[in-house]
Amino acid sequence: MAAAAPASTLSQAYWPTTASRDTLLRNVLLVVVGVIAMAIAAKIKVPFWPVPMTMQTFVVLTVGAAYGGALGAGTMLAYMLVGALGFDIFTNSSAEAFGWDYMTGSTGGYLVGFVLAAFVLGKLAEAGWDRSAPKMAGAMLIGNALIYIPGVLWLGYLYAGSKGWDWTVQVGMTNFLIADALKLALAAALLPLLWRLKR
């Protein structure tokens, strides 16, 4: 049996495969796990200041880094597809507000950002940025920016005309910066630690 290729991502390191069929099975299962993790993270709200905190951005960035660019982005697209089909898996979705109508509302830009961030984090991880805490912190900053930029721009498109850009930036980004800094620090420490444990 041929040896598995050197791992460029954590998922490959912890679950090496040699046969294409095994790789496909691994990737499908990882996507399912990622979608479930996103759905759970969306619904768990931790009391925090100035707004309650979910762990969804942590999952987006961690999945991207652990899975790699293509599989990370594919997982976020699968999450969006499940949501578009009407399942209640988004942060503020409900039996009354779900599916495509919800996705094109105020959170639509952030959902696009999830895909961008997971892809870029995955590519940076494939280049070795997830092996050290300083580089991982830098990657997480980039990933957070890629979530905020389309999120705030879309929110501004919907509301800046009536509420102004100060309100848009406050509601769409500033309120979440402290919580995201904590999640960034956690991810920046966790992924290099998992590499060290594997070695």
- What count of other Cβ atoms lies within 10 Å of the Cβ of residue 194? 17
Cβ pair 91, 130 in contact under 8 A? no
What was the pLDDT predicted at 92?
A: 80
What was the pLDDT predicted at 95?
A: 54
Domain 19-194 listed as CATH 2.60.120.260: no
Give 138's contacts (C-beta < 8 A, 6+ positions apart).
129
Q: Domain map of the chain by residue range?
A: 19-194
pLDDT in tens, the chain (199 residues): 455 556 789 999 999 988 899 999 999 999 999 999 999 999 988 888 777 888 999 999 999 999 999 999 999 999 999 999 989 899 887 756 778 888 988 889 999 999 999 999 999 999 999 999 999 999 999 999 999 999 999 999 999 888 999 999 999 999 999 999 998 999 889 999 999 998 7
- Copy the structure tokens of residue 196: 């060290």
Give 152's contacts (C-beta < 8 A, 6+ positions apart).
109, 168, 169, 172, 173
Q: From CA 170, how far away is CA 88, in angstroms rounded?
A: 27
Closest CA to 106 of 53, 64, 177, 163: 163
Closest CA to 197 of 10, 17, 16: 10
Residue type, 91: T
The reply to whether the predicted model has a pTM over 0.85 is yes
> Terminal CA-to-CA distance of the chain, rounded, Å?
23
Cβ pair 42, 34 in contact under 8 A? no
- Copy the structure tokens of residue 115: 């895909």
Report in angstroms the alpha-carbon separations of 132 from 14, 27, 29, 72, 125.
Answer: 18, 25, 27, 20, 10
Q: From CA 27, how far away is CA 24, in angstroms rounded?
A: 5
What was the pLDDT predicted at 118?
A: 97
Length reported for the chain: 199
Cβ pair 105, 155 in contact under 8 A? no
